[in-house]
Amino acid sequence: MLPKVAIYCHLSDEDRNKIHASSESESIQNQKSILTAFALEHQWEIYKIYIDDDYSGSDRTRPEFNMLLEDAKLSSVLEI
């Protein structure tokens, strides 16, 4: 059984000027690519990818980050 991991990506302040509001920023695309490759290289199973594309890391109201924390709490009770 492979270890399960989650990937979390958030908007970099340098990448706020994305072309389309509905598209993922380059920062998010790069983070997903690098982190997915890292997980695969270490033979980790990716449970879920959490993305807060419209929130900077300093914003404590990031919904996906908060969902990640909730899921982590649940995983200690339930086996995911």
| Residue with tokens 């991991």, as numbered in its chain | 5
Task: State the pLDDT at residue 38.
Answer: 97
CA quadruple 47, 6, 36, 51: dihedral, nearest 10: 110
Q: Which two tokens stand for residue 70?
A: 């909730």
Q: String of b and e for 35-64 (b: at least 16 CB within 10 Å)?
A: beeebeeeebeeeebbbbbebeeeeeebeb
pLDDT in tens, 4-46: 999 999 876 656 655 555 566 788 889 999 999 999 999 999 9
Q: What is the mean pLDDT of residues 66-71?
A: 94
45 Rama class: left (phi>0) / alpha (psi -120 to 50) / beta: beta
Give the mean model confidence (pLDDT) for residues 58-67.
89
Domain boundaries of the chain, sorted by first residue? 4-77
